[in-house]
Amino acid sequence: MKLLTYSTNNKPLRLGILVDENTIVDPQEAYIELLNQNGQQRAKEIATALLPANPTEFIANGDMALKTAKEAVSYALESAAQSSVLYKKENVQIGAPVLKPNKIICVGLNYKNHILEMKRDFPVHPVIFAKFATAISGPNDTFPLNSQLTKKLDYEAELAFVIGKEGKDIPYEDALDYVFGYTVANDITARDMQKRTIQWLQGKTLDKSLPLGPVLVTKDEIPDPHGLDICLTVNDELRQKSNTEQLLFNVNHLVEFLSGIVTLEPGDIILTGTPGGVGEAQNKFLKHGDKVRVEISGIGAIETTIMEVTES
C-alpha cells in the first residue's frame, strides 16, 4: 500500500492511498460510504476512529487500520461511490506522507564513500542527530533559500523509514517488525551553519529542509530495504548514485541501536544517511532555480525547487 497526504481547495492535508500513478482514494471517506451502504449507524464516527485522516494516528492503529483501509479501497474502486472518494493527483496538492511525528532521527556518516569524501573516521556507533517537524515539506514543494543566512546549501539523498509500533530495546532480528514503511527523503543541509558549532542541529533543521515522499510504501511491498537503488540529480546532472546495500549500519541495526536509547513510537521518522556525491565534497552548492530530484527504486521520486526568498 502507498500512503500519502493530499489537500483539495486549500483544506488541511489528510490521508490518501495511491492506487495507481494518478488516482488517490480517501480511505476514511470510502469507509463512510461502505458503512452507510450496509446500514451501519454512526458511520462517520466509526470510520474516523478506525481510519484517521492524520497519517500518524493511522499508523498507530496498526494492522486493523491497514485491513480496514484495504476494504475501503476495494469498495471505492468497485462501487458507484468513485466520484466522491476518488481524486486525481493533478487536481490536488500532495503533502509529505507523515506530517508531525514525535521524532525525526537522522543518521550521519552511514555510507563508506560518503565517509571517505568527507574525510571522516569510520564510526564505531551510528552518528545520530535530529530535525524538527517544521523541517518537513512535501515531495514537490519549493525550498526557501535565504542566501544571507547560508552560502553553502547542500543536498543529501536518503532512504527514510517510519516506525509502526512502539518499542524499546528491540532485538536486531525483530527490528523490521517495528517498521511501518519506507519513503524518500532529502536532508537539505546548510553546511556553513552546520560547522559553526560541534552540534550539527542549526545547519540541519531549517524550515522545509526535509522533503519527503512521494508516498510511504508499507513494508509488505518492500520486504528487504537493503537492496534499493538510490540516486540524486541537480538539474538532471547525476550527483549521487548508490544502493542501500552499502549502508554501514542497516535498518535492523538502527532500530536495535536507537531503541536502546529512546522509545520508538508510531510515526517516528528515521533517516538512514546519504551516499557519496554531496555538494560539499565537490564544492557544488545549491542556488536559486536548481531542481533537486531524489529517487529510490520501489518508492518513487521527489523534486525540490530552490527559490531565493531575499530576491525582490
Domains of the chain: 2-94 (2.30.30.230), 98-308 (3.90.850.10)
Q: How far is CA 273 from the centre of its chain?
A: 13
> Which range is least confidently modeled, 111-120, 122-131, 158-167, 303-312?
303-312
CB 288 within 8 A of CB 307: yes
Length of the chain: 312
Report the distance separating Cα 307 and Cα 286, nearest Å: 10
Q: What is the pLDDT of residues 209-232, one digit of tens each?
A: 999 999 999 999 999 999 999 999
C-alpha cell at 8: 483539495
Can you give the pLDDT at residue 303? 99
In the predicted model, is pLDDT for residue 82 greater than 70? no
Q: What is the pLDDT of residues 94-111, one digit of tens each?
A: 999 999 999 999 999 999
Report the distance separating Cα 310 and Cα 257, nearest Å: 42
pTM for the full predicted model = 0.96
Stretch 131-154: mean pLDDT: 98
Q: What is the pLDDT of residues 240-259, one digit of tens each?
A: 999 999 999 999 999 999 99
In the predicted model, is pLDDT for residue 311 greater than 60? no
Task: Tell me how crowded residue 189 is: count the other CB atoms within 10 A of its CB.
Answer: 27
Spell out where the chain has E strands: 2-7, 14-20, 23-25, 86-88, 93-95, 104-108, 127-130, 136-137, 142-145, 153-154, 157-163, 179-186, 189-190, 210-218, 229-234, 237-243, 269-271, 291-296, 300-308
Residues 6 or more apart whose CB falls under 8 angstroms from that of 266 comprise 56, 59, 60, 62, 163, 164, 165, 166, 180
Stretch 85-99: mean pLDDT: 97
In the predicted model, is pLDDT for residue 80 greater than 90? no
Report the distance separating Cα 62 and Cα 69, nearest Å: 11
What band does 84 get if pLDDT is binned at 50, 70 and 90?
Answer: confident
Residues 6 or more apart whose CB falls under 8 angstroms from that of 186 comprise 155, 156, 157, 158, 210, 211, 232, 292, 294, 302, 304
Mean pLDDT over each residue of the chain, to the nearest integer: 96
